[in-house]
């Protein structure tokens, strides 16, 4: 599977891992914590996102996915739209915000997501809804959130932090 496969690809990156432990890991925080402010606007190629933009995008994505999981966990059957990640990044201020502030925002969003997950029952994790063109369970929505993060961290390690 390729990243263009969306949810199925991201979910596949988390198979075999327990859902709450996926959100408790500090590994990705540690990677971002080690990046100095002066490196945070780096792009490995013209037209690619900066490290700040990647971090902001990961945070935006977690907000959106957790909102979807919330709706599905409450048995809301409204079909939820996709979103244009490039539009979100282009219309953000990520490159104008201190990297430490972006990282603190990411950590705050993660803490909120962890609280939300801790209040879900096993039955709620199996409830489904539709986001864009995918019917997906609450659990797989959350897995896709972390899989998406893992995908971007892999790119960060390969192309930005060599």
| CATH of region 3-13+20-160 | 1.20.120.450
pLDDT tens-digit series, residues 14-23: 988 999 999 9
pTM comes to 0.95
Average pLDDT value for residue range 26-39: 96
Burial of 19 (0-12, 13-18, 19+ CB in 10 A): middle
3-state secondary structure of 75: coil
Domain segments of the chain as ranges? 3-13+20-160
Sign of CA dihedral 131, 133, 135, 141: negative
pLDDT tens-digit series, residues 82-137: 999 999 999 999 999 999 999 999 999 999 999 999 999 999 999 999 998 889 99
């Amino acid at each position: 599977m390729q990243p263009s496969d969306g949810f199925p690809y991201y979910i596949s990156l988390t198979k075999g891992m327990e859902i709450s432990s996926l959100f408790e890991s500090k590994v990705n925080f540690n990677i971002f914590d080690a990046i100095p402010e002066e490196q945070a606007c780096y792009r490995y190629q013209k037209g690619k996102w900066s490290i700040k933009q990647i971090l902001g995008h990961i945070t935006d994505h977690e907000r959106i996915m957790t909102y979807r999981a919330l709706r599905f966990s409450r048995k809301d059957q409204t079909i939820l739209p996709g979103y244009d990640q490039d539009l979100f990044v282009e219309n953000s201020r990520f490159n104008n915000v201190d990297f430490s502030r972006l990282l603190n925002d990411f950590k705050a969003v993660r803490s909120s997501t962890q609280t939300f997950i801790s209040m879900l029952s096993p039955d709620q994790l199996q409830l489904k809804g539709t986001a864009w063109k995918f019917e997906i369970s609450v659990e797989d929505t959350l897995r896709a959130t972390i899989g998406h993060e893992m995908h971007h961290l892999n790119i960060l390690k390969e192309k930005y932090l060599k």
